[in-house]
Amino acid sequence: MKPIVQISLDLTNIDEALETAALAVRAGVDWLEAGTPLILAEGLHGVRKLREAFPNIPIVADLKTMDGGYLEVEMMGKAGATHVVVMVRAHEETIKCVVNAGRDFGVKVMGDNLGHPDMVEGAKILEDLGCDYVIHHIGYDERRGIAAQGKRMPSPLDQLREVVSAVNIPVQAVGGLSLEQAIRCPEYGAPLVVLGAPLTIDADAFKTATGDLEASLRMICEKIHAYGDVAVGKNGIKI
């Protein structure tokens, strides 16, 4: 499949999120994510506002669903979300409810393997239960807690190739990646690339002469899209 650039709107104010989203779409971003902080701050209102402003852009609602899966998907689907996120550590029945609701309301399901003791096995479980995508995710608190112990901070790149090779659905890597690392995800067979917002542009690699954030983001999108078709999953299928 062709690489997809997703921007995570991890903001707590809908006006700021809309402004950032507009910049991102102009720069070539494919998907908008209502990040968990935005969902907590603005809820369905925030998703509706994004849908009103961007009627043709896929919107990911990062719900991190753990229970009540059907209702959450129904609500977000009706508000305009095209994708939702469910956690692998949720009960199997919850994941099934999310998948069923996704089918009923035309919403794609992204399964997040955060916190599973075996990340590869977690990805397989999510695929087996009907998720459309796998998010291979090393959490914020986990990364910093391990680093505080004087140990190497874990990265989703550590097992990304293993996760990609274990499933036949597209994989996204999330958790502490630098811009350079995020841009390289298609090389690992993970075509869904997430950029965080607020954005931090690496001055050495990406900042333009004028410091134009939109131009810098456009350059990043062009670099990711230039990979062309990415073979997905253990069978190397191009979808």
pLDDT in tens, 55-88: 999 999 999 999 999 999 999 999 999 999 999 9
Number of domains in the chain: 1
CATH code, domain with 134: 3.20.20.70
Query: What confidence score (pLDDT) does residue 206 get?
Result: 45
Whether 233 is covered by a domain: the verdict is no
Whether 195 is covered by a domain: the verdict is yes
- Of the candidates 116, 115, 110, 156, the residue with the CA atom closest to the CA atom of residue 135: 110
pLDDT in tens, 141-170: 999 999 999 999 999 999 999 999 999 999
Whether 78 is covered by a domain: the verdict is yes
pLDDT in tens, 224-235: 999 999 988 777
Whether 178 is covered by a domain: the verdict is yes
The pTM score is 0.92
Whether 231 is covered by a domain: the verdict is no
Q: 237 or 180: whose pLDDT is higher? A: 180
Structural domain harbouring 14:
4-225
Whether 236 is covered by a domain: the verdict is no
